[in-house]
A and B are shown apart, each in its own frame.
Chain A
Amino acid sequence: SQQGEEDPQALSIQEGENATMNCSYKTSINNLQWYRQNSGRGLVHLILIRSNEREKHSGRLRVTLDTSKKSSSLLITASRAADTASYFCAMPVGSNDYKLSFGAGTTVTVRA
C-alpha cells in the first residue's frame, strides 16, 4: 500500500509563479525523496531529505520536512514551462530502506 499522499493531485500555474505541493505519510521514516516524471518517461531524483533535516535546497527547489506532522513540501520557485511534469514523494518502507513507496503524484502544468 502507498505510504505517501500528495496534495493537490493537479496544479496549473503561470510561468514565473511558484508551485507548492505537499506530501503526507503515515509511519516514521529515516528519509523522504522527491522525484519528477516527464510524460511517458522515467522518474528523475530531485532531492533526498533525511529525518534530522528540516529544509533542503537544490537550485529552484526547496523541500521541507516536518516529522512531527509527518509531512513534507516541495516548492518550485519561478516556474518554467519545462517544469511541467508529475512530482512524486517517496519514502522507505519497512525496517530497511531498500524499498521505496511512492505517492500517487501531483501533476503540475506551467502555462506560458
Chain B
Amino acid sequence: DVKVTQSSRYLVKRTGEKVFLECVQDMDHENMFWYRQDPGLGLRLIYFSYDVKMKEKGDIPEGYSVSREKKERFSLILESASTNQTSMYLCASRRTGNGYTFGSGTRLTVV
C-alpha cells in the first residue's frame, strides 16, 4: 500500500523554537507539497517541490522554509515557531498529472 508518512501525529513546541516536520513517501513521486489546514480558512499551500532540490513558494510561505535533498523526503521547517503557526500540517505527494496522496497530518501546537 502506497504511503505518505508524517513523522508525528501530535507535536507541542514552545514559541521561538525551530521546528522540523518530516514527510516521507514511498511511491517515487516527483512532486511533494506542504499545506496547513485551519478552521474557516481551509487548506492553504505553504511550499511545494516539483523535483529533488527544487522548491517553490505557495500562498503562505512566510515563517517557513523547506528542504528536499532526496526524492522521497520533504521537510518543513518553522524557523522560529509562533503561536499563529498552531495548525494541522498536511504533507502530500503525487506523480505529475495525478491526484495527491496525503499523509495523516501533524497537529502542531505552539505554546
Chain B residues with a Cβ under 8 A of chain A: 4, 31, 33, 42-43, 45, 48, 50, 56, 58, 88, 90, 92, 97-105, 107
Contacts and interface: CB of A to CB of B under 8 A. Distances in A.
A43 interface: yes
A103 B107 CA distance: 21
Interface in A26-75: 33, 35, 40-45, 48
11 contacts: A42-B4, A42-B90, A43-B43, A43-B90, A44-B102, A88-B43, A98-B50, A98-B56, A99-B45, A100-B100, A102-B43
Identify the interface centre among A35, A42, A98: most chain B CB within 10 Å of its CB: A42
A107 to B, nearest CB: 12
Interface residues of A, number: 20
Contacts of B98: 48
A30 to B, nearest CB: 9
Given A2-B42, A42-B90, A99 B100 contact: no
Contacts of A98: 31, 48, 50, 56
Given A40-B105, A40-B107, A102-B42, A45 B100 contact: yes
B58 A99 contact: yes
Contacts of A88: 43
Contacts of A42: 4, 90, 92, 102-105
Contact of B42 (A40, A41, A45, A105): A105
